[in-house]
């Protein structure tokens, strides 16, 4: 009896110890990760909150109560001055600065329109059940398995070819190819570089190369925000060290050996097919001796120890992450005696850490074009609104980029982007390595097969005659389907089947074309843009698109104090990347 | 009376060692009569030889990429299939008998160095687990009561988790890396040894010679470590040999998942994991490390089985 009691007691003790150990991290994760949560009681900056009221526009002629969200002035630093529903089918944007790229930006899928009521009902987090106007609507999402869409029969445009669209994913390129060969999927993204020949030789398959509108780079953070990190001993904070690494890495060795056909060594950050992409001086030549001399001059003749962070995720810009990372590791060791320990991170955690500036060593990341403009490349990464990924910003880079972004013609913008590229070459916030070509492989029977340089293939136009279901296999599962607050291409592609923005991009291309807005016109100095909505567009829930849906969908992203400014993590990175700081942003 | 004391004293001085030598002799002879055990020993012997002499056997450095070797007559390609001059590979091409891996490193050299790593992993983790497990099991078995209860319930908790999952959890907390992987595998293997030792101690504890030592005033630790444990050694050796195989497999699994050895370390599991996508385009990079793992694990399993039979007096008549 006593013995049993004792056993029971000891089990209880162990159980409580285990719960105590297990409980600690659980409570830690309960803390909201949202950093930009609006202050509920006391607005951080009182003035803008008061001014940014949602008042019915007075000039609306009919009974329609159009929303108006506006900043009191342009002091807050962002690009947008106001968003206004002029009438039921007209939306007007007032900008603080001229922005010739505005149509390209507003067409991006992060700025898709959802019904105002739906955003309210989901408290700003329609993470798994977005309601859009696109050719497909979400039917079910079995996390970890597949995402199923069905055709939206009341779609305003050409109806989708397939009754059902299925998204599946596998991080393994061999498995993707195997599934395609065995016929369980109809198309796969990013075949492995070694598999290009196999696919081309297979008469049951077709390979569509994707234009290299992407950049793979080796990033440095000159002042990481990681807790307890002492930046005074950080060799990467030293510009000479970064320049030495830039010279000491043989980039053509990486591209020649590890990239598929269609890729090129990057002479600049932005690919040349983007207007003003590769203006200015070309990147450093590979020169080991000069690099070693520079490293010695910087005070590290014997090298140093650092880490290489990356995510083991295949993207068009990085077809074989582990191998490329190990080659860079080997080159750093061999050429510069820099010992770099590889630390692979989980994709989401890696992106979060990169964006918040917490990566202390070298990180490997890339970028695929969202829209073909320098603001999406230089502006997003190094402009005024860019994240802390590369640490402290360089004034000369920021100024050149912001000056270029406000001019309308490519010729006028050229000198500014040239200056920006030259300044980037001098400061080396990152080393541009490759403009990575990639591809999409389809079954030969698929009609409408295409590869989008922006990575947003539309499966409303692809299909196999006589087949109801189209199965697409990509690299990874979408993170969420509320793409206002996602940056991952795998999520964006899924969103793009469901939701639409005011404008869109042509299928398989980069030209901007009308979507939910039939037409738009700017004023003369490009600070006021008026969009005329398509009439009679239905959402998947049966409601009709009107101007207030547009104002709400966009202002919840813009206004950090908006009650619906919640999202998945609350980062809304694309908004701040493209349009600068948030309205009512909490003080840093 | 004085004669008895003398006998015990002489046993104390040399009796045990004399007896154990003869036991090992018997075991060794029984072991040699088992073909499977001999095969195991031969494979293991080769592996140990490779591990000890890797730096002389390997034609290249295991971490050196052929891409930066000057004077290479033909531009080296990553994931090149094996080139063996004796089998008709052109003489102007450098010989890589197992081909090149994804980073254009010599696969043969990496496999050779991998043997060193895998054997080290197996021996270190099992030694660690045996030391801790023996102490815990012996204490529990000898003293019984609440000590036994506490220790064995903790062991039960550890056993309740699938070992690889628990190892993954431990590595996740400690951070990926070979050392942490070793520690994790060591920790998850402890319960097996603790149980084996405890069971032996329980059965030996009540034997007359132990009672005799106790009656003669031997203290608890002396009885435990000098009288009881040597007699509990046999099952431990068997368990340990088989455990090395499991440990090597677990370490390879952790490295395959990216939680064990970090690049560019030539660890078999990590090599397999790195090239898993090339199973159709460059199968040698997947199969060769896999075969190396399989052979090593097999050798320990065969040897362990042989040892178990050889050490079991009940099977003496069989052999």
**CA max distance for chain B:** 87
Residue B268 maps to a domain: yes
- Chain B residues with CB-CB distance to A327 below 8 A: 65, 67, 103
pLDDT at A2 over 70: no
Across the interface, do A341 and B154 touch by the CB < 8 Å criterion? no
**Residues of A in Cβ contact (< 8 Å) with B64:** 330
Q: Which residues of chain A does CATH 3.10.105.10 include?
A: 214-435
**Is A214-435 a CATH 3.10.105.10 domain?**
yes
* pLDDT greater than 70 at residue A33: no
3-state secondary structure of B51: helix
Residue the block writes with tokens 């390595």: A433
How high is the pLDDT of residue B319?
43
pLDDT of residue B312: 75
Backbone angles phi, psi at A373, to 5 degrees: -150, 150
Coil, helix or strand at residue A474: strand
d(C-alpha A113, C-alpha A547), whole Å: 10
Contact partners, residue A502, CB within 8 Å, separation at least 6: A91, A106, A107, A111, A113, A515, A516, A517, A520, A531, A533, A550
pLDDT of residue B2: 59
Residue B247 inside a domain? The answer is yes
Q: Measuring CA to CA, how many Å separate B47 from each of A462, B53, B295?
A: 55, 10, 9
- Mutual orientation of helices B178-205 and B145-160 as an angle, nearest 10°? 140
How many residues appear in chain B?
319
Total of domains in chain B: 1
Q: Please give the residue of chain B at the shortest CA–CA distance from A18.
A: B157
- Residues facing residue A83 across a β-bridge: A69, A93
Q: Quick check: is B167 in a domain?
A: yes
Among the partner-chain residues B104, B154, B278, the one whose CB lies closest to the CB of A194 is B278
Across the interface, of B65, B150, B282, the residue whose CB is closest to A330 is B65
pLDDT tens figures, A411-447: 888 999 999 999 999 999 999 999 988 899 999 999 9
Contact A130/A495 with Cβ under 8 angstroms?
A: yes
pTM (2 decimals)? 0.76
Question: Of chain B residues 184-223, which have a CB less than 8 A from chain A?
Answer: none
CATH code assigned at B269: 1.10.3720.10
Identify the H or E element spanning A18.
helix A2-30
Query: What value does the mean pLDDT take over residues A176-195?
Result: 91
CB burial readout B100-138, b (16+ within 10 A) else e = bbbbbbbbbbbbbbbbbbbbebbebbbebbbebbbbbbb
Q: Is B79 on the interface with A (CB under 8 A)?
A: yes
- The predicted pLDDT at position A42 comes to 40
Say yes or no to pLDDT of A37 above 70. no
Residues 94-123 of B with CB under 8 A from A: 102-104
Q: How many Cβ atoms from other residues are within 10 Å of residue A33's Cβ? A: 12
Q: In this predicted structure, what is the pLDDT of residue A330? A: 92
Residues 6+ apart with CB under 8 A from A345: A309, A310, A311, A353
> What is the predicted ipTM?
0.79
Which of A23-37, A264-278, B118-132 has the least mean pLDDT? A23-37
Task: Give first-to-last CA distance, chain A, whole Å.
Answer: 63
Displacement of CA B135 from its chain's centroid (Å): 19
Q: From the list B258, B263, B277, which residue is nearest A173 (CB)?
A: B277
Mean pLDDT for B143-170 is: 92
**Which of A588, A587, A586, A583 lies closest to A77, judged by CA?**
A583
Mean pLDDT (whole number) for B206-210: 86
pLDDT at residue A16, rounded to an integer: 54
For CATH 3.40.190.10, the residue range(s) in chain A are: 136-209+438-496
Whether A26 has a pLDDT exceeding 50, the answer reads: no
CB count within 10 Å of CB B4 equals: 10
Share of chain A above pLDDT 70, in %: 89
pLDDT of residue A15 exceeding 70: no
* Contact call for B258 and A198, based on CB within 8 A: no
In B11-160, alpha helices (H)? 16-32, 35-57, 107-143, 145-160
Per-residue pLDDT, A7: 58
Between CA B201 and CA B180 the distance in angstroms is: 31
A588: helix, strand or coil: coil
pLDDT in tens, B240-273: 999 999 999 999 999 998 888 888 899 999 999 8
Output the six-digit token pair for B286.
């997947």
Q: What is the pLDDT of residue B16?
A: 53
- Chain A residue numbers with beta carbons less than 8 Å from the beta carbon of B153 are 7, 10-11, 14
Distance CA A477, CA A170 (A): 8
Total residue count of chain A as it appears in this document: 588
* Structure token pair of residue B101: 């891996």
Contacts of residue A350 in chain B, CB cutoff 8 Å? none
pLDDT tens digits, residue range B8-61? Answer: 666 666 555 454 457 778 888 888 888 899 999 999 999 999 999 999 999 988
CA distance linking residue B207 with residue B200, whole number of Å:
11
pLDDT score for A44: 40
Determine the structural domain holding residue B288 and report its residue range.
Answer: 39-54+104-318
Structure tokens at B132: 């801790």
Tell me whether residues A322 and B263 touch, CB distance under 8 A.
Answer: yes
Q: Which CATH class is domain A136-209+438-496?
A: alpha beta
DSSP string covering A171-214? S-HHHHHHHHHHTS-SEEE---GGGHHHHHH-TTEEEEEE---E
- Structural domain contains residue B32: no
pLDDT score of B73: 62
Q: Tell me the C-alpha to C-alpha distance, in Å, between residue B260 and each of A41, A270, B264.
A: 49, 37, 12
Q: What's the count of helices (H) and strands (E) in chain B, helices before strands?
A: 12, 0
Contacts of A506 (CB under 8 A, 6+ apart): A512, A513
pLDDT at A27: 37
Chain A within 8 Å of B155 (Cβ-Cβ)?
no
């Amino acid at each position: 009896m006593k013995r049993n009691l004792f056993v029971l007691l000891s089990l209880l003790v162990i159980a409580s110890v285990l719960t105590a150990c297990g409980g600690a991290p659980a409570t830690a994760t309960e803390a909201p990760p949202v950093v930009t949560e609006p202050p509920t009681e006391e607005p951080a900056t009182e003035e803008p909150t008061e001014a940014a009221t949602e008042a019915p526009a007075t000039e609306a002629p009919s009974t329609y109560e159009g929303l108006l969200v506006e900043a009191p002035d342009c002091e807050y630093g962002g690009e947008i001055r106001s968003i206004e529903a002029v009438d039921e089918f007209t939306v007007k944007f007032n900008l603080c600065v001229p922005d010739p790229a505005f149509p390209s930006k507003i067409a991006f899928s992060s700025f898709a329109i959802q019904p105002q009521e739906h955003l309210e009902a989901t408290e700003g987090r329609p993470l798994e059940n977005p309601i859009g106007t696109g050719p497909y609507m979400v039917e079910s999402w079995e996390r970890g398995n597949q995402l199923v869409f069905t055709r939206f029969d009341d779609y305003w445009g050409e109806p989708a070819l397939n009754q059902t669209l299925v998204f599946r994913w596998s991080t393994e390129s061999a498995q993707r190819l195997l599934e395609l060969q065995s016929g369980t999927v109809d198309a796969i993204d990013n075949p492995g570089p070694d598999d290009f020949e196999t696919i081309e030789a297979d008469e049951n398959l077709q390979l569509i190369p994707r234009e290299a509108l992407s950049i793979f780079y080796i990033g440095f953070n000159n002042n990481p925000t990681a807790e307890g990190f002492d930046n005074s001993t950080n060799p990467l904070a030293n510009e000479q060290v970064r320049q030495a690494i830039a010279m000491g890495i043989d980039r053509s060795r990486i591209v020649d050996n590890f990239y598929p056909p269609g890729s090129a060594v990057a002479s600049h950050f932005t690919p040349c097919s983007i207007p003003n992409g590769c203006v200015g001086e070309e990147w450093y030549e590979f020169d080991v001796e000069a690099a070693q001399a520079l490293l010695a001059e910087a005070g590290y003749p014997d090298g140093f120890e650092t880490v290489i962070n990356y995510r083991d995720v295949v993207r068009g810009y990085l077809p074989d992450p582990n191998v490329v990372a190990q080659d860079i590791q080997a080159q750093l060791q061999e050429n510069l005696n820099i010992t770099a320990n590889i630390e692979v991170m989980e994709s989401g955690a890696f992106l979060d850490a990169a964006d918040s500036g917490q990566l202390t060593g070298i990180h490997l990341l890339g970028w695929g074009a969202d829209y073909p403009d320098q603001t999406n490349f230089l502006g997003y990464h190094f402009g005024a609104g860019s994240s802390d990924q590369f640490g402290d910003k360089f004034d000369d880079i920021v100024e050149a980029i912001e000056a270029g972004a406000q001019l309308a013609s490519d010729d006028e913008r050229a000198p500014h982007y040239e200056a920006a590229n030259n300044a980037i070459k001098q400061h080396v916030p990152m080393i541009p390595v490759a403009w990575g070509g990639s591809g999409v492989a389809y079954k030969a029977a698929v009609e409408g097969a295409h590869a989008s340089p922006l990575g947003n293939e539309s499966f409303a136009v692809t299909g196999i005659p006589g087949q109801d279901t189209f199965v697409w296999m990509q690299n990874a599962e979408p993170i969420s389907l509320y793409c206002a607050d996602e940056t991952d291409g795998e999520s964006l592609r899924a969103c793009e089947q469901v939701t639409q923005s005011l404008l869109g991009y042509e299928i398989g291309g980069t030209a901007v074309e009308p979507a939910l807005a039939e037409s738009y016109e700017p004023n003369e100095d490009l600070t006021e843009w008026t969009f005329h909505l398509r009439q009679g567009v239905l959402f998947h829930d049966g409601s009709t698109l009107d101007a207030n849906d547009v104002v709400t969908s966009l202002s919840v992203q813009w206004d950090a104090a908006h009650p619906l400014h919640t999202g998945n993590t609350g980062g809304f990175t694309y908004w701040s990347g493209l349009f600068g700081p948030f309205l009512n942003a909490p003080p840093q | 009376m004085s004669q008895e004391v003398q006998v015990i004293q002489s046993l104390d001085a040399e009796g045990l060692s004399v007896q154990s030598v003869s036991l090992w002799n018997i075991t060794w002879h029984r072991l040699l009569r088992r073909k499977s055990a001999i095969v195991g020993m031969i494979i293991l012997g080769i592996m140990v030889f490779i591990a000890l002499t890797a730096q002389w056997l390997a034609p290249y450095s295991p971490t050196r990429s052929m891409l930066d070797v000057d004077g290479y007559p033909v531009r080296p390609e990553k994931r090149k299939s094996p080139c063996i001059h004796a089998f008709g590979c052109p003489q102007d091409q450098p010989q890589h008998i197992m081909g090149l891996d994804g980073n254009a490193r010599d696969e043969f050299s990496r496999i050779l160095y991998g043997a060193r790593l895998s054997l080290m992993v197996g021996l270190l983790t099992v030694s660690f687990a045996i030391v801790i497990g023996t102490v815990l099991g012996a204490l529990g078995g000898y003293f019984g009561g609440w000590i036994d209860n506490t220790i064995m319930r903790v062991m039960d908790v550890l056993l309740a988790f699938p070992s690889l999952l628990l190892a993954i959890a431990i590595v996740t907390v400690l951070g990926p890396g070979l050392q942490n992987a070793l520690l994790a595998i060591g920790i998850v293997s402890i319960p097996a040894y603790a149980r084996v030792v405890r069971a032996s101690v329980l059965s030996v504890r009540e034997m007359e010679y132990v009672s005799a030592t106790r009656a003669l005033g031997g203290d608890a630790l002396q009885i435990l470590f000098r009288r009881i444990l040597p007699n509990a050694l046999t099952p431990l050796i068997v368990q340990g040999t088989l455990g090395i195989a499991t440990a090597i497999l677990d370490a390879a699994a952790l490295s395959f998942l990216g939680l064990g050895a970090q690049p560019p370390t030539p660890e078999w599991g990590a090599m397999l994991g790195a090239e898993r996508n090339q199973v159709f385009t460059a199968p040698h990079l997947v199969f060769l490390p896999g075969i190396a793992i399989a052979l090593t694990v097999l050798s320990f399993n065969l040897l362990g089985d042989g040892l178990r039979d050889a050490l079991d007096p009940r099977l003496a008549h069989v052999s």
